């Protein structure tokens, strides 16, 4: 490709999409390269979805800085982008008051509002904490958000503001030209850029090595989860944490922004690519959840999954390479990376804009148009909508009450949903009790029709065809 981009962003998780979203507000050209067939397809889709307050971070670290800055930005972005979220607060439970002292110290140093509650006040907030809990640390600014819908919304807004996204484009090489620019090589072509920003998540160290930037030893930690049916949502009001350990914030019990409850994650050292849940990890969850929450309902589980955390030392790695000019990075972004994403994006974008002398655009899309979510409408509003478009009256996903109209809306969004999994992440079709058992084939038919492709070409995700061939011709007459 002969075109020269001002900036190429590598990686389409929540960090990369947030960076592209901010870059698109400036008078410069920006391209995001993602190796999967959709954004939010790796760590972001398997995130706990917690908006952390920032009391747990070691003071004077990048984690503390960007967590505290990112928390209010997250709530603002969620409102402007119409991303499902819930500012429900969080508690850390403990037997003794003294066990919370270190977290109180960190909270004060980081400027985070917290309050220590005795058992009586804890029960007023969260009636189902374990009987052994005597005290809790309450953080009102914490909550939950849909991590994959946030990343998708960042990508949508970036596209509307002129940012470009190329999917199924893994970076296989990075070269430097004689004029000082970069050539970023992918199977879909080579893309020239003045500046490269590495937001490649689990593959971040590999991308650094391709560019000749700093080498970082990387380790990976797998976390397994239970997802419970939405009937359990009434029993959990806040995010419930145990006391943190060296391995992380511990096994939590939390509502999700979409109405389910999750238990997890575990923290097992593993290798890149290992996202298979194990019986050992699930048994670990069964042993630990009751220590903080007295009414676990493992029999209401509708799905298990696992996510991968990428760890480089004890802190985030954010900023410009000292070895390669104009090569920026945001890697080793484990917890609280989701909460930190908008602040990290603004920090990197400010640096890039100053380097290139780019000014902010005069007119940008700040607020996305709210997508139709039928289950949020009352009968009057729903009937009016159906009169205008009958597709919003045809339920496809029974569990989550997702209609044909919502699926079509997702397929034709700024960053279109082109697979069954992409539709699922945007609409929740297939995320309910039956996990797509009833609606998958109907979603496939709608994708086939709207994309004008044969049913056999409809994919679940990258390289995962669902239908091999047609065994019976259907006469629609």
Could you give the residue numbers annotated as active site? 52
CA distances from 398 to 271, 343, 383, 387 (A): 38, 38, 18, 21
CA distances from 342 to 22, 50, 184 (A): 9, 14, 25
H or E element at residue 222: strand 219-228
Q: What tokens appear for 198 in the block?
A: 């590495």
Virtual torsion, Cα 200, 202, 204, 205, nearest 10 deg = -170
CA distance linking residue 36 with residue 68, whole number of Å: 31
Cβ neighbours for 318, distance < 8 A, ≥ 6 positions apart: 62, 66, 329, 330, 344, 347, 348
Helices 14-23 & 147-160 angle (0-180, nearest 10): 20
Structural contact between residues 209 and 171, judged by C-beta atoms closer than 8 angstroms: no
CA distances from 120 to 115, 124, 197, 292 (A): 14, 6, 49, 15
CA distance linking residue 400 with residue 394, whole number of Å: 13
Collapsing DSSP to helix, strand or coil, 293 comes out as strand
CA distance linking residue 147 with residue 339, whole number of Å: 10
Structural contact between residues 352 and 192, judged by C-beta atoms closer than 8 angstroms: no
Structural contact between residues 262 and 256, judged by C-beta atoms closer than 8 angstroms: yes
Q: What tokens appear for 362 in the block?
A: 């005069």
CA distance linking residue 301 with residue 319, whole number of Å: 41
- Say how many CA atoms lie within 13 Å of 14 toward its Cβ: 29
């Amino acid at each position: 490709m002969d075109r020269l981009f001002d900036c190429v962003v590598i990686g389409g998780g929540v960090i990369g999409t947030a960076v592209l979203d901010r870059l698109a507000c400036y008078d410069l050209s920006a391209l995001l390269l993602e190796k999967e067939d959709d954004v939010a397809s790796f760590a972001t889709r398997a995130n706990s979805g917690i908006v952390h307050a920032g009391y747990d971070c070691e003071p004077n670290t990048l984690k503390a800085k960007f967590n505290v800055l990112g928390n209010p930005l997250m709530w603002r972005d969620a409102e402007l982008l119409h991303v499902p979220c819930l500012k429900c607060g969080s508690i850390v439970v403990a037997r003794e008051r003294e066990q919370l002292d270190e977290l109180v110290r960190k909270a004060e140093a980081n400027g985070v509002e917290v309050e220590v509650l005795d058992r009586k006040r804890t029960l007023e907030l969260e009636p189902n904490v374990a009987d052994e809990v005597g005290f809790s640390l309450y953080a009102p600014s914490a909550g939950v958000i849909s991590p994959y819908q946030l990343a998708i919304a960042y990508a949508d807004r970036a596209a509307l503001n002129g940012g470009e996204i190329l999917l199924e484009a893994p970076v296989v090489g990075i070269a430097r030209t004689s004029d000082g620019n970069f050539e970023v090589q992918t199977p879909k072509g080579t893309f020239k850029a003045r500046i490269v920003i590495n937001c490649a998540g689990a593959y971040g160290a590999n991308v650094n090595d391709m560019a000749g930037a700093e080498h970082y030893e990387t380790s990976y930690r797998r976390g397994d989860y239970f997802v419970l049916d939405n009937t359990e949502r009434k029993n959990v009001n806040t995010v419930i944490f145990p006391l943190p350990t060296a391995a992380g914030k511990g096994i939590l019990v939390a509502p999700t922004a979409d109405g389910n409850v999750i238990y997890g994650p575990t923290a097992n050292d593993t290798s890149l690519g290992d996202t298979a849940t194990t019986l050992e990890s699930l048994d670990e969850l069964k042993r630990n959840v009751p220590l903080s929450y007295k009414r676990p309902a493992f029999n209401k589980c509708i799905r298990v999954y696992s996510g991968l955390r990428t760890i480089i030392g004890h802190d985030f790695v954010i900023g410009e390479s000292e070895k390669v000019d104009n090569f920026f990075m945001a890697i080793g972004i484990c917890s609280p990376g989701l909460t930190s994403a908008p602040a990290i994006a603004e920090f990197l974008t400010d640096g890039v804009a100053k380097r290139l002398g780019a000014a902010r655009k005069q007119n940008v899309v700040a607020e996305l148009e709210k997508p139709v979510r039928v289950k949020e409408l009352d009968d009057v509003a729903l009937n009016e909508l159906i009169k205008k478009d009958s597709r919003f009256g045809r339920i496809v996903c029974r569990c989550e009450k997702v209609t044909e109209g919502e699926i079509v809306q997702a397929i034709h969004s700024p960053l279109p949903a082109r697979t069954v999994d992409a539709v699922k992440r945007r609409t929740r079709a297939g995320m309910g009790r039956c996990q797509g058992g009833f609606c998958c084939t109907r979603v496939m038919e709608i994708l086939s029709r709207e994309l004008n492709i044969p049913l056999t070409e409809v994919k679940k995700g990258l390289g995962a065809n669902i239908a091999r061939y047609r065994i019976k011709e259907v006469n629609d007459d």
